[in-house]
Chain A
Amino acid sequence: MSVTIRLKKGFDIKIEGTAEKALAGAADPVLYAVKPVDFPGLIPKLNVKPGDIIKAGNTLFTNKLKPDIRFASPVSGKIISVERGERRKILEVIIERKGNDTVDFGKSDPAGLTRDEIKERLLISGLWPAVRQRPYHVVANPADVPKSVFISGFDTSPLAPDYNFIMENTEGSLFRTGISAIGKLTDGKVNLVLNGNGISNQVLGNIRGVTITYFTGPHPAGNVGVHIHHLDPINKGEVVWFVNLQDVVAIGRLFEEGIYRPERIVALTGSEVKKPGYYRIIAGGSVSHMAGDNVKPGNKRYISGNVLTGTGIAPDGYLGYYDSQVTVIPEGDYFEFFGWALAGFNKYSFSRTFASKLFPGKKFRLDTNLHGGERAFVVTGEYEKVLPMDIFPMQLFKAALAEDIEMMENLGIYEVAAEDVALCEFVCPSKIEIQSIIRNGLDLMMREMS
C-alpha cells in the first residue's frame, strides 16, 4: 500500500535533445577530475601532489573542518595536475588513468554490521560524500543521526535521464545491498520516491526495507527537496539525509565487491548533440570522449548536469560528482532586433506573453541568452506557480538577500536548496540570480548555526 502525492505547481521545460533509450557504449576517457567545487562549503586539504601514483579509492583530499570525510580517486593512475583558481582555490584534481589498481576495502554484508561500522567503511573508502543532508544541501555530517533518509527514484529536470532505463542496465543486487547499508544509518524510514506516472522498474518497485511513495506532476516533482517537504518536513534542528540513486549502487558495490568504483550511466542530451544517448562512465571522467564528434559545430555550452542546475564546463571538461547527465546547448550571444516587441512564435516562455504559447506540444532549441537585463523584483505571483512547496518564495529570496537570519528561518530556508528554486530563476522576468541568492543564504545559515 503506497501513497501517491499529486503536485500541480511546477513546469516542464520543452527543450530538444532527449536521450534515446539505448546504451551508446562505454565512455572510457583517459582523464578524470575530482572537483572540490562540487561540494558546497568544503575547504579541501590535499593529500596528493602532481606526479603521485594512486589507486582507485586512494584519498585525494579531505575536508579540513571534518578530516574524517575523504574524497577518493575514482580511478588508478597518476595525478597530473591540481588546477587552482582565484586566491589559489583548488578547482580540479586531475588524474590520468592507467591500469585497474583498486584499494581493497574488504567485502562484507551490511546486514551484519553496526551503524558505526557502516559509517566507518563509507568514510574510509571515500564514498561518504555521496551521502548528503538537508538542511543546507551539503555532504552529511557523520556525527548526526538523520530522522529519515530519502532516495529519489526519478528525475523530472529538463532532459533528465530515465532512472528506469538506468536500473535496467544496473545489477539489482548492488542496489539492494546499498539500500540495506543505508537503512542502518537512520532510526527512521528510508523513503524511496518513485514516479507515479508509468510503471517503475522491477528492482525499484519491489525493493524491501524502504517506504515507497509515488509523486506525480511537473518538474520539480522529482526533486528530493520537494519529497522531503511533503513527506517529512525539516524543522529547525532536524536533519534528513539523501543519496542519489546511482550512488546507492556505488555503496552496494563497496560492500559486495569491496571497492570504490563510482560508475554510472550518464545521459548525453541537448539540442546540439547529434545522437543523444546513454553512456557508461566513471564519475569525474572527461566528457570529451563521449561528446567529441557527437556535437554539432559552433559555439556551444557544455553543462555537467541539467540546464537548470548544472555546471558549465569546457568541451573537454569533467563530469561532476553528483551528475548523471551532460547537456550541450547553443550559446546565445547574439543581438536580437526588437526582440521584446515581436509576436514571438519561436520565443519560449513560461508566461503567456508570447505567441509560442499557442503551440503547447512544440519543443524548442533553447540557448543561453539572458533575454533581458537584471532588474529589481517587480512581477509577483510567478515564483509561486513553479514551486510546489508551502513557502513564500519571493519573501524568502528577499530575506536571503538581506541576510535576515531569523526571517529566513521562519520562511523555511531549511527546506530548500538552490535546485528547488531553479525554476523560479528560469521564469524570473527581472533576471535575478535566485539560485546564488539561496546558496549564499544557506552558506550564511550554516556559518551562523555551527
Chain B
Amino acid sequence: MDILRKRLDKLKPHFSKGGRFAKFRSVFDGVESFIFVSAKVTFRGSHIRDSVDLKRIMTVVIIALVPALFFGAYNTGLQHFRSTGLEASLMQCFGFGFLRLLPLIIVSYTVGLGIEFVSAQIRGHEINEGFLVTGILIPLIMPVDIPLWMLALATAFAVILGKEVFGGTGMNIFNPALLARAFLFFSYPGWMTGDKVWTQGLTAGQNIIDGYSGATSLSLCAAGEVGRLPSFLQMLIGTTPGSVGETSEIAILIGAIVLIVTGVGSWKIMVSVFGGGAIMGLIINAFAVNPFMQVPFYYHFVMGGFTFGAVFMATDPVTGSQTERGKWIYGLLIGVLSILFRVLNPAYPEGVMLAILLMNVFAPLIDYYVIRSGIKRRLKRVSVQVKTSVR
C-alpha cells in the first residue's frame, strides 16, 4: 500500500501539466482516486464533510445489483441446458452463464469507460463515476445472445449521445442504460424481440430439443397463449427466459432492500411505480376483452422487466423527478404507462423501457409544476399577511 502510494507519487509529475503524459492526466487522476481517496481538504465553507461521495453511492448500487447479476448468470446456464436437454448442476449452470456474461460486461465497461476517460480529458474534468453503474446495467437488460459489436455500438451511442453531449453525469436527460437498449431495440429489432434471443444458443439452433420454445412470459401473453404461462412462483423466482437480470424478482427485491436501507434509491419512486402498475392492471382487468387483459394485475410485476425497471431504472436520481412530491407522480405515471404499453400496444410486448424513457422527458415538467405550486404557496403567504394587517 505504501509502496503503491510512493509509486503513484513518483509518477504524478509526468501526468501533471507540462509532463510527458499530460494527455492522460484524467486517466491518471481517475485511477489514483479509485485506489486512494484523495487527500484534498476543505478550503471554503464547511470544514468537515460527510464521508459519502458519488463513488460510494455507485458502489452501493452495484452491490444491490449483485443478486440480480448472479441469478442472471445462473439462469443463463439453466435456460441453455434446458434447451439442449442436458442435466446440469447449479454450479454448472452458474459457471456456464457467468462465462457467457463476462464478455458482455467487459465490452460494456471498456467502451463506456473508454469514452468517459476521453471526454474527461477533453473537458479537463475529473472522471465521473456514473458509468460504474451504467456499465453493469447495460448487460443486465440485454438478451444474452446479443452480438458483442452491437453491444459496443449501443454503449457508445448511449454514452456519447445520451450523456456526454449534455455535459456528463448529472446533466443527462435519459437513463443511459435504457438508451442503449432502446437504440438496439429500434435498430436491430430482430436481436431484441422474438422467442429465440433470450436463450443462449437458441438462435444458432444447434442441439435444441423439441418442445423448447424460449418464449418469454410476455410474448406468450401477447400471443394470447396465457395458458402456457409459467406459474407465478416460477416467474417470481425467475427460472424463465428473459433479459439477463430481469427474470428474478426475488433477486431484484434483495437489491431493492439494499437501496432502500442505505437510502440510495428512492423508496417513493419504487412504491409509486408498483402503485401505478397495480392501478392500471386493475383497470385493464376490469375491462378485459382478451386473454392478456385478463391476466391478474400482480402477474405483471413478475413478468418482463417491470420490477427491474422500478428498482434500478426509475430510481436514477439524475433522469427522474428531483422534487419529493414529483417523485410520487413520476413513479405513478411510469407504472401506469408500463402496463398500458405492455397490454394495449400490439407492437411492443414490453412497455417498461419506453415508459421510463418517456417519463425521463416529462420529469422536468413534473418538477416545474411542483415548484410552481411551492412558489404560489410562498406568494399566498404575503397576501394572507396583508389581509390580516389590514384588519
* B171 near A422: Cβ-Cβ < 8 Å: no
A339 CB-CB contact with B under 8 Å? yes
Q: A335, B47: Cβ atoms under 8 Å?
A: no
**B38 and A373 contact, CB distance less than 8 A:** yes
Do residues A308 and B46 form an inter-chain contact, with CB atoms below 8 A? Answer: yes
The answer to whether B47 touches A368 (Cβ under 8 A) is yes
Known: A353-B56, A379-B57, A410-B375. A337 touches B47 (CB 8 A): no
Distance in angstroms between the alpha carbons of A171 and B171 in the assembled complex: 57
On chain B, the residues within 8 Å of A331 by CB distance are 41
**B44 adjacent to A435 (CB under 8 Å):** yes
How many interface residues does A have (CB within 8 Å)? 73
B40 touches A353 (CB 8 A): no
Partner of B40, one of A307, A312, A369, A430: A369
Quick check: A392 and B41 within 8 Å, CB to CB? no
B53–A369 contact, CB under 8 A?
no
Query: What residues of chain B lie closer than 8 Å to A236, measured between beta carbons?
Result: 382
Question: Which residues of A lie under 8 Å from residue B264 when comparing CB positions?
Answer: 351, 353
Q: Mark B17-59, 1 if CB is under 8 A from A, else 0.
A: 0000000000000000101111111101111111111111101
Q: Would B50 and A350 count as touching, CB distance under 8 A?
A: yes
B195 at the interface (CB under 8 A from A): no
Given the contacts A235-B385, A335-B39, A376-B170, A301 and B317 also touching, CB distance less than 8 Å: no
A119 at the interface (CB under 8 A from B): no
Q: Is the Cβ of B322 less than 8 Å from the Cβ of A380?
A: yes
Is B169 located at the chain interface by the 8 A CB criterion?
yes
Report chain A residues within 8 Å CB of B169.
375-376, 378
Closest Cβ–Cβ distance, residue B165 to chain A (whole Å): 15
Check A392 against B323 for contact (C-beta < 8 Å). yes
* Listed residue (A337, A384, A411, A427) with the most chain B CB atoms within 10 angstroms of its CB: A337
**How far in angstroms is the closest Cβ of chain B from A99?**
37
Determine whether the beta carbon of B47 is less than 8 Å from that of A310: yes
State which of B48, B52, B263, B367 has its C-beta within 8 Å of the C-beta of A307: B48
Report if A348 contacts B (CB, 8 A): yes
State whether A433 touches B44 (Cβ < 8 A): yes
Residues of A within 8 A of B40 (CB): 333, 369-370, 373
Known: A372-B38, A381-B324, A392-B323. A309 touches B46 (CB 8 A): yes
> What mask results when residues 275 to 298 of chain B are scored 1 for a CB within 8 Å of chain A, else 0?
000000000000000000000000
From A368, which residue of chain B is reached at the shortest CB distance?
B41
Contact of B36 among A233, A336, A427 (CB under 8 A): A336
Query: Which chain A residues in 1-35 approach chain B with CB under 8 Å?
Result: 13, 15
For B171, the closest partner residue in chain A by CB is: A376
Contacts of B35 in A (CB 8 A): 337-338
B51 near A395: Cβ-Cβ < 8 Å = no
Is A367 interfacial (CB 8 A cutoff)?
A: yes
A303 to B55, CA, bound (A): 29
Is B381 close to A, CB under 8 A? yes
Q: How far is the CB of B100 from chain A (nearest CB, A)?
A: 27
Q: Is A293 an interface residue (CB 8 A)?
A: no
What string of 1s and 0s marks CB contacts (under 8 Å) between B285-327 and chain A? 0000000000000000000000000000000011010111001
Q: Are B317 and A369 in contact (CB under 8 A)?
A: no
Residue A341 at the chain B interface, CB threshold 8 Å:
yes
Query: Chain A's nearest CB lies how many Å from the CB of B8?
Result: 9
> What 0/1 readout, one digit per residue, does chain B (365-391) give for beta carbons within 8 Å of chain A?
001000100110110011001000000
Q: Kindly report which residue of chain A lies nearest to residue B370, judged by CB atoms.
A: A392
Given contacts A353-B57, A370-B38, contact A433 B382 (CB under 8 A): no
Beta-carbon contact of A347 and B44 below 8 Å:
no
Partner of B37, one of A372, A377, A392, A412: A372
Pairwise interchain contact A335-B37, C-beta atoms closer than 8 A: yes
A339 and B36 contacting across the interface, CB-CB below 8 Å: yes
Q: What 0/1 readout, one digit per residue, does chain B (180-197) give for beta carbons within 8 Å of chain A?
A: 000000000000000000
Whether the pair B39, A369 counts as a contact (CB closer than 8 A) is yes
Closest residue of chain B to A235 (Cβ to Cβ) is B382
- Minimal beta-carbon separation of B255 from chain A (angstroms): 15
Contact B130 A378 (CB under 8 A): yes
For the complex, what is the distance from the CA of A353 to the CA of B258, rounded to whole Å?
A: 10
Instruction: Identify B170's interface contact among A303, A338, A373, A377, CB under 8 A.
Output: A377
Check B42–A368 contact: CB distance below 8 A: yes
* Chain A residues positioned under 8 Å from B170 (CB to CB): 375-378, 430
Whole-angstrom distance between the Cβ of B7 and the nearest chain A Cβ = 12
Which residues of chain A are within 8 angstroms of B171 by Cβ–Cβ distance?
376
In the complex, whether A434 has a CB less than 8 A from a CB of chain B is yes
- Say yes or no: B51 contacts A348, CB within 8 Å: yes
Q: Is the CB of A378 within 8 A of B374?
A: no
* CA of A367 to CA of B377, assembled, Å: 41
Please tell me if the beta carbons of B53 and A429 are within 8 angstroms of each other in the complex.
Answer: yes
Q: Determine which residue in B44, B55, B59, B128 has the highest number of CB atoms from chain A within 10 A of its CB, and name it.
A: B55
B126 within 8 A of A: yes
Assuming A337-B36, A340-B37, A381-B317, is B45 touching A429 (CB within 8 A)?
Answer: no
The reply to whether the CB of A352 lies closer than 8 angstroms to some CB of chain B is yes
State whether B54 touches A367 (Cβ < 8 A): no
Task: Say yes or no: B49 contacts A371, CB within 8 Å.
Answer: yes
Q: Which residue of A lies closest to B51 (CB)?
A: A347
Which A residues lie within 8 Å of B385 (CB)? 235
Interface centre among B38, B59, B385 (most CB of A within 10 A): B38
Interface residues of A in 92-149 (CB under 8 A from B): none
Q: 5 tightest A-B contacts by CB?
A: A372-B53, A376-B170, A339-B37, A347-B51, A435-B45
Q: List 16 A-B contacts (CB under 8 A).
A: A13-B48, A233-B381, A332-B42, A337-B36, A348-B51, A351-B263, A367-B48, A371-B49, A372-B56, A378-B170, A378-B317, A380-B266, A381-B266, A411-B375, A430-B54, A430-B170
A residues sitting closer than 8 Å to B (CB atoms) are: 13, 15, 158, 233, 235-236, 301, 303, 307-310, 312, 327, 329, 331-341, 344, 347-354, 356, 366-381, 384, 390, 392, 394-395, 410-412, 418, 422, 425-431, 433-436
Q: Other CB < 8 Å A-B pairs besides A335-B38, A410-B375, A429-B53, 19 of them?
A: A301-B47, A333-B40, A336-B37, A339-B37, A340-B37, A340-B53, A340-B59, A351-B57, A353-B56, A372-B53, A373-B53, A375-B53, A376-B167, A376-B169, A378-B54, A392-B323, A427-B52, A431-B53, A434-B45
